[in-house]
Amino acid sequence: MLAYILKTITRHRTRTLLTVTGAAVAMFVFCFVGSVQEGLHRLTTGADADRSLIVFQENRFCPTSSRLPEDYSQKIREISGVKDVMPIQVWTNNCRASLDIVVFNGANPAQLQKTRPIQLTDGSWTAFSSRRDAAIVGRNVAQRRNLKVGDQFSIGDISVHVSGVFSSAVPSEENLIYTSLEFLQYTRGLDAAGLVTQHEVLLTADAAPDVVASEIDEALRSGPVTTTTRRKGAFQASTLSDLVDLIGFAHWLGYACVGLVLSLVATTTVMSVQDRLKEYAVLQTIGVRPMRTMRLVLAESTILCVIGGLVGTLLATAALAIGGFAIGAEGATIAFRPSLSLVLSGTAVSLMVGIAAGIAPAIQAATVPIVDALQQT
């Protein structure tokens, strides 16, 4: 009876279109919220977040306020369990939460190529290493700022020559711009000669991260600047603590969108059933059993919800893929990226909500009294 179901859906085209549109908008928001949550999860978990440490100045927050001696790296390398140390100078145009934050990381080009999970999609490492003001730009930043190899990019006191564009297996990396360490240290106005913002510590396979972190802080306690060392994931979660709370609240916004779809589709299906009570009574008189009537109504609500949900999910996926959106604070960024799990969850939620929205109208259609319904004018 597929033809019958499609006929009932298209009978009131305006109502059907408004229902599908409302479901699409709600699922669009649901997928965007889910993307933010996935981005935070990727940033604070995984091998990169758990098997590396960040050494930062104690009781400092914004990167511009952390100033550690560069030669701390020599002491850190002597600690058991440390595989390598990369001094990093960080500069950002905004320490507050922003949707268009620009973060520069200054580090040794050879160490970047060896330790960072990045791959140049345009440009070359040779060009990056051979020019003092050269920079390689993350794909998302290049997309937002319309940058390509050979461009000159200036912001604040920083002006760099784009020598490459890179992609990364870690989405947050694609929101960074890498330069040489010396460039950021000696750029006029930054006054950071011999200083770095942080030291990134790579651990050996058998090292205990928390133990090594404690040993690093103890070894540097007698130095001119005391430090706090944390796992990279914990450090980024702490840096983005205000955004973490906001994203946690946004989780309820996702649930509200699901409730909106449920209410919208259920209301439309109830109105459709009310308009056709006499029709369902006729179906019963010609031998259509109540369970089949219920399946007809459930199919109607599910089709409406799934169509709207798929449209909203696909539009959100396209917007996330094209936009390269990210939000950051204090030099750390959360990348919004589409994913297969996001598409599957949006489709599954649409299917379940469609079924749930049709249960009550389906029961009403299946149990309509034949005589009373036929007497309606």
The reported pLDDT for the residue numbered 363 is: 87
Amino acid residing at 236: Q
Residue where a domain terminates, one of 168, 198, 225:
225
Number of compact structural domains in the chain: 2
Are 137 and 266 found together in one domain?
Answer: no
Per-residue pLDDT for 247 more than 90?
A: no
Per residue in 274-283, pLDDT (tens digit) is 777 777 777 7
Residue where a domain terminates, one of 200, 225, 250:
225
Q: Count the neighbouring beta carbons within 10 Å of the beta carbon of residue 83.
A: 14
Question: Using an 8 Å Cβ cutoff, are 149 and 123 in contact?
Answer: yes
Residue 206 domain-assigned (yes or no): yes
For 246-267, the DSSP string reads: HHHHHHHHHHHHHHHHHHHHHH
Highest-pLDDT range among 85-99, 196-210, 248-262, 317-331 = 196-210
Per residue in 253-266, pLDDT (tens digit) is 888 888 888 888 88
Domain with 324 in it: 2-43+242-375
Tell me the mean pLDDT in the region 131-144.
90
Are 80 and 218 found together in one domain?
Answer: yes
Please report, rounded to a whole number, the percentage of residues in the chain having pLDDT higher than 70: 94
| Distance from C-alpha of 232 to C-alpha of 44, rounded to nearest angstrom | 8
Are 78 and 210 found together in one domain?
Answer: yes
- pTM comes to 0.76
Residue 49 domain-assigned (yes or no): no
The reported pLDDT for the residue numbered 373 is: 59
Residue 230 domain-assigned (yes or no): no
Tell me the mean pLDDT in the region 166-175.
85
The reported pLDDT for the residue numbered 262 is: 87
